[in-house]
Amino acid sequence: MALLCLIAVLGGPYLTDIATEAMIYTVMAVGISIFMANSGIVSFGHVTFALVGAYASAWQTCCAGMRGVFMPGLPQFLLDSKTPVLLAALVASLLASVVALVSGAAIMRLTGAAASIALLSLLFIVKTIYENWDSVTAGQSSLVGLPLYVDMWTAFGFASAAIVIAQVYNASSFGLLLRATREDEAAARASGVNIWRQRLIAFVISAFVTGAGGVLYGHYLGTLAVNVFWLDMTFVTLAMVVVGGMRSLTGAVVGAFAVTGLRQTLLALERGVDLGGVSISLPSGAQEIALAVILLLILTFRPQGLVGDNEMTWFGGARDSS
């Protein structure tokens, strides 16, 4: 927080932007981590919930009088609604949870790689639907004019809330039971844990948080396009969780900041920097390649991520490390 104040006072708009972006990604990464860290299942599909959340918030708040032009298919009550942005965010995140509940009821029966692939299929399904549902999503073109209410402090508020939710879940008996299934599925099953239900609970909560991340993303950029919520975002958010440490909440937060910092540095390099009069610039596209290579190196040489299994104490709430 002190760091944020410092950035706000001294950093100028550029650093403020980076910090805001890092915290928006923190919300998403924490959301993914609630599911991944506790269940041990790699999720390639959580961007689905960011997508659902972002559009649901747009349905309620977007583009003032132009809503009916962009999204003529919306029901009348949505066309007329003047929902306050925060309430809209809540409703949108809840919708993401509902999608998770319905799809998770099936997918959570799978384990390991099969579950990961099914989650990717889920993203593929939802993306295809949204892309072709022109009347409420503007299809393959962009939606512009979302209220720009997300600044650094809003993002900070959401990120804090996300961390609190994750922490409460982790400390709850649900989190404990699910982590037990992560360590030894057979043993947990034998001692009567309903793995499906435990996974589903985590999945729904994590969808809620990831959905909120999507909402922030939309209201930070002011525009939405379905194809933004696809492999790039999946890769970047997954990279955050992995770089930080797949098994802990702290890892997700650290990863979100580390990867955002890295990407912004690379992007700045792509734009070119002056070093003692010599201008150096990376070719465009170097950012993605570098990120992929770094992720592979981390997976090979430090698969536990930057923080490993360690948990930092957030906001004074103690938590046993799992």
**Residue 146: how many CA atoms within 13 Å on its side-chain side?**
28
Contacts of 145 (CB under 8 A, 6+ apart): 62, 63, 64, 66, 70, 222, 223
- Residue 173, classified by CB atoms within 10 Å of its CB into exposed (0-12), middle (13-18) or buried (19+), is exposed
| Of 240 and 249, CB closest to other proteins | 240
For residue 293, the 8-state DSSP code is H
- Binding marks (x or -) toward other proteins, 301..320, rule CB under 8 A? x-x-----------------
Q: Can residue 269 be called a binding residue for other proteins (CB under 8 A)?
A: no
Interface stretch with other proteins, choices 60-68, 101-109, 172-180, 260-268 (CB under 8 A): 101-109
Q: Which residues pair with 275 in a beta bridge?
A: 278
Q: Can residue 114 be called a binding residue for other proteins (CB under 8 A)?
A: yes
Distance CA 155, CA 217 (A): 10
Q: Least distance (Å) from other proteins to the CB of residue 232? A: 8
Distance CA 194, CA 65 (A): 49
Distance CA 138, CA 66 (A): 12
Q: Can residue 242 be called a binding residue for other proteins (CB under 8 A)?
A: yes
| Of 61 and 116, CB closest to other proteins | 116
Q: Can residue 52 be called a binding residue for other proteins (CB under 8 A)?
A: no
**Residue 143 zone, left/alpha/beta (φ > 0; ψ -120 to 50; rest):** beta
Q: Can residue 40 be called a binding residue for other proteins (CB under 8 A)?
A: yes
Q: Can residue 110 be called a binding residue for other proteins (CB under 8 A)?
A: yes
Q: Can residue 32 be called a binding residue for other proteins (CB under 8 A)?
A: no
- Binding marks (x or -) toward other proteins, 281..300, rule CB under 8 A? --x-xx-xx--xx-xx--xx
Q: Least distance (Å) from other proteins to the CB of residue 321? A: 16
Q: Can residue 113 be called a binding residue for other proteins (CB under 8 A)?
A: yes
Q: Least distance (Å) from other proteins to the CB of residue 211? A: 20
| Of 165 and 252, CB closest to other proteins | 252
Number of helices (H) and strands (E) in the chain: give both, helices first: 15, 4
Contacts with other proteins by CB under 8 A: the residue count is: 47
Q: Please give the single-letter amino acid code of residue 294.
A: I
Q: Which residues pair with 273 in a beta bridge?
A: 280
Distance CA 117, CA 230 (A): 14
Contacts of 37 (CB under 8 A, 6+ apart): 241, 246, 247, 248, 249, 251, 252
Residues engaged in binding other proteins (CB under 8 A): 40-42, 44, 103, 105-107, 109-114, 116-118, 120-122, 124-126, 128-129, 131-133, 231, 235, 238-239, 242, 246, 283, 285-286, 288-289, 292-293, 295-296, 299-301, 303
